[in-house]
Structure 1
Amino acid sequence: PKSPASHPGPAEWELPRDPEEEGRSLLQNCSDHGLQTTMRPVPRVFQASWPSATARIMHYVRPGIDAWVVVGILVLCMLTSPAGDKDHPAWRLVRNNTFLFVWVPFWYRFCTGFIHFLLSLAILPSPVIYHEGPLLKYFPQWVLDMCHESFVLRQKNRPRLAAAGGITLQLTAPDGCVIDALYFRGANAALDGPTVIRFNGNAEAIELQDDILPRIYSTSGINFIMFNYRGVARSKFHAVWNSELLGHLLGLNRTPTKQGLVLDAWTVTEYALEELRVPCSKLVLVGHSIG
């Protein structure tokens, strides 16, 4: 727009450049792979340990409670049947304490398992809308139609991230879930140098990120890691008896969504601390939304 006649300055004001175009012009001459060959290679596979004894115990307690509830319900059915001796002390103990022995464990698992899972579908929808696992063939058609566009976009963007220097990592969580991650090495940066880990929002996938984001870090000499939560795209539960479906269902049963999210975050963080040996003073955790 023309400036007022009374205002000193140029007659024509320059319009600001498009930020994305300016960012690309700044990065187009930067090399993504100008690394010294003597540097330590990036470890691509990692097995995380349990963050605490409590987390490890609860991994086995949850299915144990499920088995307890099933057995308790079967016992109740036997108590209500006319057959059998109901005067045995063990039967009387169960009959007089049904609420404690059966219904308390049942409602605990019902709320922390099934209800928790239903709520997680709204709070963390990415394992559904970006799912590429065994449950995909059971999705209704309207869900598949809704997810088709994002699937095509993810398939298109993944090579762009690889071209930007992304190295695929397979990080196994303590409960066996394999986390898909991408590692971008900073220009002339050591593995134990400054490192940023990005935690996605509730409806994000790493394939939907623009390749400029990791380039900004890598060209500044900063290592950058981003990953998908379990159930999102290539992050999948470990197969059980060569069945991905069984492994997925058992994984959902053993590890509620909230605890699974924490284990995913712990796995990637431990990878940086233990495998890459990044000191805490050089590790930055960046979270977006639920991340």
Structure 2
Amino acid sequence: MSAIPQDGQINNWLKWSAAELSLTLEENTREAEWLLSSLLNCSKSELYFQENELSPTQCELLQDWIRRRINGEPAQYIAGWTEFYGHRFNLNSSVLTPRPETERLVDVAIHSLQEFDKPNVVDIGTGSGCIAISVAAEISSASVLGLDISGGALAIAEENAALNKITNVQFLQTDFLQFTPVEPVYDCLLMNPPYIPINEMDILMTEVRDYEPELALTDHKDGLTFYRHLSNMAKKWVHSGGWLIMEVGLGEHPQNVSACFDINQFTNKELIADFNGDDRILKVNVI
């Protein structure tokens, strides 16, 4: 354990934080910068030009944050926010931390929705609202509805819509597996569902398994429940010519999900790679 700084010099606390985190994290300096800049409400680059010192209260809080991070709690939960698609999103343990690969889903959605003048979009399992809000922010003519079974998640999503001043998005609490619309009014359905098979939960990283909401991680079965349900119910949600755009997992999961849509009510099925070259998005056209 490194010696705790005896003053409030920001550079000393940054070095101490990085040293403490190096015991458990490879990207220790980056994470130390993230946490300290979040504490001071400044950019990472501004850390190195700060003339002010940490107050005794801030020093104590930073020590607590570093301890929590060493124990495995995600930095985004500790700081209470993250950045996604150029927007700030507040977070707590009611929602998943948005992943970089999910930004690819937003990319594909924005491109696919160009063919509609005023697209009507639904986001299943909206969580923090990162997908719904990002799409709504990029396409001002769109009307976006985010659905989630969790009231706690929807409270965060509403907060994030207000934070980002996005008015063309709404949220509704409902169970996707039980709810069916009166008619298929949507041009596009977006979905990043719980897709981790229950038998893989034990091998997840500690910061995922022990801190992120299980409800948003696994369907407690084989990771395909939501996709199978959508393949059966798609025409009740999305009109003919509309799109289904879904995030999928790694390994054999993309092909297993794709097979769920090997029926004659779909066409133009495409698996799309993320920036690591892994197939992470499935795009399907409803006939």
TM range (shorter): under 0.3
Q: TM-score, normalised by structure 2?
A: 0.21
Give the structure with the larger helix fraction: 1
Q: Specify which structure has the bigger relative contact order, considering alpha-carbon pairs within 8 angstroms and separated by 6 or more residues.
A: 1
Q: TM-score, normalised by structure 1?
A: 0.21
Greater Cα radius of gyration, structure 1 or 2: 1
